[in-house]
């Protein structure tokens, strides 16, 4: 019975996948919430988990312990999100320490930062409207990928892909303006 369900999912049967989703969603939700302590993050992790299951659906017929496999995917998604959050906090702490005066800003530093800020704003303004909207919702309004996806009725994956393209656009615009600058520097300095 379950083997048949997994074979149907592997073949791309969305109704069968919906059945799996309905079975595991109520089990995964409290499990993930214990790790994230955030309803928004929990929903995002659930979406990511089920997206990974769907993308790896061809493996389903060969999995001996589906329950353990699905919970392992969810755990890894949560751990990756926690690591990302910790890295972001470290970057913010480093920037705050830098801003607090441990490293003095010279007039040249301030001028260069102002120029780069201006160029980034120009690059953003040259983006197509939808890319610009998604970028601003993420960076200026601080919305999470899932929140943007819901607000614009698009997938979380689309939001992520658009943001990757937006950052490439900014980096290319800066390089074309004579400012070869790393993406990490852009992320740290402006976000």
Domains, the chain: 2-82 (1.10.1740.10), 105-190 (1.10.10.10)
Per-residue pLDDT for 149 more than 70?
A: yes
Please give the pLDDT value at position 96.
67
Range in 27-36, 79-88, 99-108, 173-182 the model is least confident about? 99-108
Range in 5-9, 85-89, 163-167, 176-180 the model is least confident about? 176-180
Per-residue pLDDT for 125 more than 80?
A: yes
Q: 153-169 b/e with 16+ CB inside 10 Å = b?
A: eeebeebeebbeebbeb
- Among candidates 162, 96, 160, 174, which has minimal Cα distance to 128? 162
Range in 16-25, 108-117, 120-129, 179-188 the model is least confident about? 179-188
Please give the pLDDT value at position 79.
87
The fraction of the chain above a pLDDT of 70, given in percent, is 85
Cβ atoms of residues 125 and 132 within 8 Å: yes
Per-residue pLDDT for 104 more than 90?
A: no
Angstrom distance (rounded) from CA 172 to CA 162: 15
Angstrom distance (rounded) from CA 149 to CA 159: 6
Angstrom distance (rounded) from CA 129 to CA 136: 10
Please give the pLDDT value at position 159.
92
- pTM of the predicted protein model: 0.50
């Amino acid at each position: 019975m379950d083997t048949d369900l997994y074979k149907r999912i592997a073949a791309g049967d969305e109704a069968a996948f919906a059945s799996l989703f309905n079975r595991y969603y109520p089990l995964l939700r409290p499990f993930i919430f214990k790790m994230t302590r955030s309803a928004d993050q929990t929903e995002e992790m659930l979406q990511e988990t089920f997206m990974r299951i769907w993308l790896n659906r061809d493996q389903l017929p060969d999995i001996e312990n589906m329950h353990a496999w699905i919970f392992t995917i969810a755990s890894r998604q949560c751990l990756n999100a926690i690591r990302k959050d910790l890295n972001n906090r470290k970057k913010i702490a480093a920037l705050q320490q830098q801003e607090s005066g441990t490293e003095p800003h010279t007039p040249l530093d301030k001028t260069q930062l102002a120029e780069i800020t201006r160029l980034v704003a120009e690059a953003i303004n040259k983006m197509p409207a939808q890319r610009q909207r998604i970028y601003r919702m993420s960076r200026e309004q601080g919305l999470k990928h899932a929140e943007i996806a819901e607000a614009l009725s698009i997938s979380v994956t689309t939001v992520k892909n658009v943001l990757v393209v937006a950052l490439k656009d900014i980096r290319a615009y800066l390089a074309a303006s004579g400012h070869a600058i790393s993406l990490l520097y852009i992320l740290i300095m402006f976000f």
